[in-house]
Amino acid sequence: MAWREDPARCRLAEEAARRAATGLEAGPVLAGLRRLTIAGLLADGPAPRRSQDLAGIARAVCGAADQAARRRPGWLYAMVPPDDPLPVAVHRTLLQAALLSALRGVLGCPGAQGVLQCEAAGPGVRLRFQGGRPDPDAADLWRRCAREGGGAAAFGGGPVFTAAAWLPLGKAPPPPAPDARDLLRDRYSLVYQFLGEWSADPGQ
């Protein structure tokens, strides 16, 4: 999904360049980029031109988060098919942001554990997540994924974020999903925008 250039994003790009040149942390830029990213993803836009592999994207996002986050082993438990693609008609960036927003809620709660399940369910794909604190951005992004993909999303009540989405399977084979390393190469990538507060600097 492409964004239009706007003054706020340009200012953040300039600030990012200054910080990189002087060795400063990227934190303030990441927060601004995250807000702009979420606003852009929630805005109405063109339908995706092709399906994306939800299983591959989930594996990559969870792998990147596990590598980047300064957390004890076991903070994230992901049950995702290891090989078979699960094509869905949702933009790749939106899928990544929805998953990362849920993981952000887990990292914001010391000692919390996130559990992600992704599986084929009849003519569609079922995606479930539980863990961490409820987050309005996470719920909005999950709803947007469901609406864009022609499915549905539901959420539990209470102090722990609980979400489930069902998306119909696409018919055309999806392109290969990026791997975890691809998501960690850029210090301003979505992984760092959402999880940067708990992650080691990618330059370290």
The answer to whether the CB of 12 falls within 8 A of the CB of 32 is yes
Q: 3-7, 14-18, 173-177: lowest mean pLDDT where?
A: 3-7
Instruction: Give per-residue pLDDT as tens, 110-169.
Output: 999 999 999 999 999 999 999 999 888 999 999 999 999 999 999 998 899 999 999 999
Question: 70 versus 75: which is more confidently predicted?
Answer: 75
For the entire predicted model, the pTM comes to 0.89
pLDDT above 70: residue 11: no
Sign of CA dihedral 82, 84, 86, 92: positive
What CATH code would you report for 52-186? 3.30.565.10
Measure the CA–CA gap between 198 and 54, rounded to whole angstroms: 25
Residue type, 61: V
Q: What integer pLDDT is reported at residue 169 of this predicted model?
A: 96
Question: 35 versus 2: which is more confidently predicted?
Answer: 35
Q: What integer pLDDT is reported at residue 72 of this predicted model?
A: 85
Least Cα distance to 133 among 175, 168, 165, 163 occurs for 163
Least Cα distance to 194 among 110, 142, 126, 138 occurs for 138
Q: What tokens appear for 110 in the block?
A: 């010391």
For a pLDDT cut of 90, what percent of the chain falls above it?
67
